[in-house]
Structure 1
């Protein structure tokens, strides 16, 4: 293999590839990326056996071929090359080395046989549809903060993507929960997605997907089967196994009849919570909300470190209420609110609280209270 490729294109592809490759693995070949040159393209493939990313970039191919090279090392080399550089990649099977040249720089990297590189079996996708990148990005971005990190409840370690009945008909819905908070986000159902099976997209895949969805103008081709999900756009394919498990019936924990309504400026509320939480204990991060007519008092009382209070103007006309929450959960939910105001719907100090973005019901959040 002998090719020449622009540093910028190679760096972008290697950044995406090395995000999939684990830093520590017991299988040496999984530390490498597969480089395949043919025609006028270079294909770069990386996998951890659960997630696979494949990207094709333009290249001047003098000699077609394929090899594998250490992902993180190759990425670091390309990253440190000067802007505008043209990189030459020359594979010498006899020496087992990949030579990387650019200007006066010359590197030789150890390679492993391309035959050893595992490629995820192609699946027959039960459902194929297209959706704008910004629609998918909103769905996953607003839900992912609530993904559980508790490995014993593995079926909560991802975002549940499925077809559901929304406020305005059938919707493409993403849900995530860790048992303490929940996010449910809807978007209009794209044509062709009606038969999509519900799948749990793993946390790592959601993180890598963010790179693919960064282009607002892109249209993403989505393929879904019972065991895999594929996202494809602009010469990049991200394929992932889905979590093998059943997502719990989240509708049972979304409160329906919370009558006490508070409306507050989302940014002002988040800033106030952040300030008073400064003195809270790291372990509990508890903040108390004391509500009375058009008035909210946020307070923290940590015997070891001190106390803090702050008053915030709100729209509230129900009976007085005192309720406590984990400050981090409140900040994460407030951070999802794109509109000026956030609406909190309470029942009492022991029941889950519902949060919406103004009157928009396409994104709702649930947070469990705590004793303070």
Structure 2
């Protein structure tokens, strides 16, 4: 195998591949990236047995072939090469080494046989559709903060992507919850997506997928089966197993009739919460909201470190209310708001609170209160 490739192109492909590789694993081949050179392209393939990413990069291939080399080491080498360098890559079958040359730099990397590299079995996908990158980016970006990190509740360790009934018909919906907060984001249902089975996309996949969704002009081909989901652009294909579990009935958690309405500048609110939470104890991170007519007082009282209070002008015309929340949860929810104002809907100090962006019901958040 022998090819030459631009350093920037190579770095992008290798960086995507090495981020999938687990740093600590007991199977040596899983630390490697599979490099396949043929025609006018080089394919870089990496897997952790649950996710597989294939990145296709244009290159001048002089001799076709394939081998595997340590992914993290290759990424470090390419990252440190000078900008604009042309990188020559040559495999020496006799020594079992891969030579990387750029200018006066020369590296020799040990290889493992490509036959040992596991390739994820292809799946029969029951639904195939395409969606604009910004649509998918919004679905996952606005919901992923609520993914649970509790491994015992593994079925909450991802985003539940499914077809649901929205206010104006069927929608593509992403839901995530950890039991303390919940995010439910809707998008127009793409053509051909109606038959899609509901799947739980794992947290790591959601994070890796983000790199595919940066191009606002891109159309992402999505394929879904009961056990796998695949996202593809012309250059990158990301295939992942889905979480084998049943996502709980989240609709029972979403309040339907919270009568007390508060409207507040989302950025100001998030900053004020951040400021008063500075003195809260790390363990509880509790902040109290005291609501009166057109006035919100945020306060924290931590016996060990002190107290803090800040007042905000809000739109509120209901009876007085005092309610406590985890400051981190409030900040994360408020930071999702793209519009100027956030609307909070309360019932009582012991009931879940609903938050949305103005009158937009395509992004709905729920946060559970806590005693303060």
TM-score per shorter chain, which class?
over 0.9
Measured in 2, the distance between the counterparts of 1:15 and 1:38 equals 21
Matches within 5 A, 1:191-202: 191-202=191-202
Measured in 2, the distance between the counterparts of 1:74 and 1:168 equals 50
Partner of 2:358: 358
Deviation at 1:234, TM superposition (A): 2.8
For the pair 1:346 / 2:346, whether they are aligned, the reply is yes
Deviation at 1:94, TM superposition (A): 1.7
Deviations 1:287-339 (A, max 9, x none): 00000000000000000000000000000011100000000000000000000
Partner of 1:182: 182
Q: Secondary structure at the match of 1:336?
A: coil
Once superposed, which parts of structure 1, at least 4 consecutive aligned residues long, lie more than 4 Å away? none
Partner of 2:97: 97
Deviation at 1:168, TM superposition (A): 1.6
Number of aligned positions between the proteins: 372
Deviation at 1:92, TM superposition (A): 1.1
Partner of 1:71: 71
Partner of 1:261: 261
For the pair 1:336 / 2:336, whether they are aligned, the reply is yes
Measured in 1, the distance between the counterparts of 2:203 and 2:268 equals 30
Matches within 5 A, 1:79-158: 79-158=79-158
Unpaired stretches in structure 1, ≥5 consecutive residues? none
1:263 and 1:315 in contact (8 A); partners too: yes
Partner of 1:242: 242
Measured in 2, the distance between the counterparts of 1:168 and 1:341 equals 23
TM-score by length of 1: 1.00
Matches within 5 A, 1:286-365: 286-365=286-365
Partner of 1:209: 209
Measured in 2, the distance between the counterparts of 1:153 and 1:93 equals 48
Matches within 5 A, 1:222-241: 222-241=222-241
Measured in 2, the distance between the counterparts of 1:235 and 1:277 equals 44
Q: Secondary structure at the match of 2:276?
A: helix
TM-score by length of 2: 1.00
Measured in 1, the distance between the counterparts of 2:204 and 2:146 equals 14
Measured in 2, the distance between the counterparts of 1:208 and 1:274 equals 29
Measured in 2, the distance between the counterparts of 1:106 and 1:126 equals 48
Measured in 2, the distance between the counterparts of 1:282 and 1:198 equals 37
Partner of 1:39: 39
Partner of 2:9: 9
Measured in 2, the distance between the counterparts of 1:83 and 1:26 equals 35
Unpaired stretches in structure 2, ≥5 consecutive residues? none
Partner of 2:160: 160
Measured in 1, the distance between the counterparts of 2:10 and 2:365 equals 40
1:218 and 1:234 in contact (8 A); partners too: no
Deviation at 1:235, TM superposition (A): 1.4
Partner of 2:62: 62
Q: Secondary structure at the match of 2:245?
A: coil
Q: Secondary structure at the match of 1:220?
A: strand
Q: Secondary structure at the match of 1:10?
A: helix
